[in-house]
Structure 1
């Protein structure tokens, strides 16, 4: 019990200190090494041979996705394409459907491969103007953005190029389009729960005569942009997103499978299987083609291409190293003697149905680390092969394991210490007290309900 208590205390410190603003690049290795030392493991060996090796593996495997995703997001932002999609959505749906307009705008951008952080920055000015015109409390803006950017487009919609949909592919030999019907059902549940909640909150505020400015601090002033900036035609803005989705589908289903990959099995190429890499290759190639599409179609709008590419590349650094640090932290936790006891407890939750323990373990780890991709990576790094074996023994298709895994990353990951939550609140000028309840319902309660439904469906 003492070992399990040590893990709980260490994770509690990680959550608390990360919430207080301590960098994960410092916090994760420090706490991991201290926990290893208390458990009797070599501290320096735990850092260099476990933490750094696991961290490095994650960076090597997924850096291209973080880099290309960040570049694509910056190109969409600087070219005005993201703004065009936002204003077109708002104009079509109108002030009466302000909440729906913001959700749809965020969903289109994130499903098209734009980083959720970029989406939050790009959509907030649009949401602010629209909510002000409709006199909807500004405190509801974070919930609307979170519903469109942090939920179904991140984990459930088939083909989404989000990292949360890419990480399971090498473990289960699947593609981004795994188990599409389960993904669509989960998406509908998340959307319905979140939208109904936000509409109800807006209606209650209206009955109490609470308007846009009532949730702003007294000293705050809402400044409107004097100039909307560049906004290319809608077809130019949507073309790169269509390229991402279409190229990903064609590459993963038609072009890359069935070719001769015998060379991959040699040690020089990592002794990999084709199914381990085809899914990741498809997303890398589709994001690259989408970046080229943005540049070609909007070259005259991109005043300085270097000004777009430089910040985009820098934007990829902190997210991937923060996530990789959490992966390293989780690897050290998994090496502690007490973790074996926890692992067996999780695996024994439902002996005949690995989907239950899979979903519980990933959601718990995502909540503990405050990172969807970090929690998933820790779980799959330590238990991925075991779940694949259990799934095969139970007659569960790898595609189902993939989709349940991806959806399970959403939910507890959006607890208050989550980096994306903290960033979103800062962008919107809100506090946890004002807006976190809405984020909790749309990004925690809705995804957990959706996960429960698709696990039940898959089990039947």
Structure 2
């Protein structure tokens, strides 16, 4: 009982510390100690093997992705290419549709196979231009990026290349297009719900007179008093981003997913330099600062380390047993159980790996259609996976320069509340029809 209580306290404490502005490193260490002590785990072994195993594993797997993505984003911003793209979007759609443009752009990139981490770095400098011209508060931005990347394109739309759709396919033996009609229905509901929320939120902040204010780390010269005549060609500025998307779509069978992203980002960065050589006046600083920006990976890695400590705690298995033992209709039980595991782990892919490997075959044996189970668990995993203690939330808020207190509420309503509601709606539809 003490171990279970310790897990709950640790997760709650991590959320509280995040809201109070405590950094990811000290917060993860403190909360890991709570888990270790309340579960009777060996202190040094838990830190040296579990915690550091998670940290090292994440950094080892994604370090090149982060630095290549950060360098690309820095090159786009310093060359003026990001601003050129942003202003072209404004010419096409107007500042009143800035939110919609960002949601759709983020969605297209992630549906094309670009990871959320890459999208954050690539879209941020463009988003700053749109937000400045539309006079929208920066606190909206994390929610918009999370909604566009981690909801309807990640878990609902058929054929999504994101892990949340791939893992059920691997475990259940289904295709990436499993239950396409149910997936499209879920995606439409999510999109309508999320966009409606931002329309309401935008009206609210405008009525309150809240507008755009750059953060302390933002280079205001990139989006204030910009001489548009000196910006690069918009058409050429789109080219590196288009090449990244095309490479990820058409070369995914030639290279490994991580390898492909890294190659694509570095090649795209080289193209930015070649096309804008004269506009990159301090190339050494662009390179140094861009690579330095990628060090933000540490903030995610330490939260992953905490997650590994949690998964190694004896009490964690009690949570899993409880989640897996819910006695309801298989579809409804699967949704509830998946949500619980996602909330504890703070990761949709981690949740699905644990849940489906443990009980996927058992649910199928109970009569669940594998394709429907695939889609329902994928949608459900995209709900509580974005609670405040999730590693992805720390990196998203960190890159944008927004605190949990300032920006998380928009993430909650669009990536937690709405996907959970949609998951239950789809479960009841599946029970009634399939």
TM range, smaller chain: 0.7 to 0.9
Question: 1:450 aligned to 2:422?
Answer: yes
Question: 1:45 aligned to 2:45?
Answer: yes
Query: Once the two structures are superposed, what CA deviation does each residue of 1:207-241 show, in whole Å capped at 9, x if it has no partner?
Result: xx55455999xxxxx99612257744344333334
d(CA) in 2 for partners of 1:166 and 1:231? 40
Preserved contact between residue 154 and residue 165 of structure 1 (Cα < 8 Å): yes
The normalised TM-score by structure 2 is 0.74
Preserved contact between residue 28 and residue 326 of structure 1 (Cα < 8 Å): yes
User: Structure 1's 434 and 33: CA in aligned 2 closer, same or farther, altered over 3 A?
Assistant: closer
Return the offset for 1:14: 2.1
Task: Count residues in correspondence.
Answer: 420
User: Structure 1's 31 and 164: CA in aligned 2 closer, same or farther, altered over 3 A?
Assistant: same
Aligned partner of residue 44 in structure 2, secondary structure = helix
Preserved contact between residue 240 and residue 291 of structure 1 (Cα < 8 Å): no
Aligned partner of residue 224 in structure 2, secondary structure = coil
d(CA) in 2 for partners of 1:177 and 1:73? 32
- Aligned position for 1:130: 133
Query: Once the two structures are superposed, what CA deviation does each residue of 1:358-398 show, in whole Å capped at 9, x if it has no partner?
Result: 654554455456x546xx43x35644522454466467788
Gaps of 5+ in 2: 215-219
Question: 1:440 aligned to 2:412?
Answer: yes
Return the offset for 1:191: 2.0
- Aligned position for 1:284: 259
Preserved contact between residue 415 and residue 444 of structure 1 (Cα < 8 Å): yes
Return the offset for 1:201: 4.2
- Aligned position for 1:118: 121
- Aligned position for 2:217: none
Question: 1:293 aligned to 2:268?
Answer: yes
Question: 1:313 aligned to 2:285?
Answer: no
User: Structure 1's 385 and 101: CA in aligned 2 closer, same or farther, altered over 3 A?
Assistant: closer
Question: 1:326 aligned to 2:303?
Answer: yes
Return the offset for 1:95: 3.8
Preserved contact between residue 159 and residue 245 of structure 1 (Cα < 8 Å): no
User: Structure 1's 146 and 239: CA in aligned 2 closer, same or farther, altered over 3 A?
Assistant: same
User: Structure 1's 317 and 330: CA in aligned 2 closer, same or farther, altered over 3 A?
Assistant: same
Preserved contact between residue 131 and residue 212 of structure 1 (Cα < 8 Å): no
Tell which deviates more after alignment, 148-157 or 283-292. Answer: 148-157
Preserved contact between residue 106 and residue 119 of structure 1 (Cα < 8 Å): no
1:361-380 to 2 correspondences below 5 Å: 363-364=339-340, 366-368=342-344, 371-372=346-347, 376-377=349-350, 379=351
Return the offset for 1:347: 0.7
Gaps of 5+ in 1: 217-221, 257-277
Return the offset for 1:87: 1.9
Preserved contact between residue 172 and residue 388 of structure 1 (Cα < 8 Å): yes
Tell which deviates more after alignment, 415-424 or 122-131. Answer: 415-424
- Aligned position for 2:383: 411
d(CA) in 2 for partners of 1:178 and 1:61? 28
Return the offset for 1:345: 0.8
Q: Aligned-residue CA RMSD in angstroms?
A: 4.5
Return the offset for 1:43: 1.9
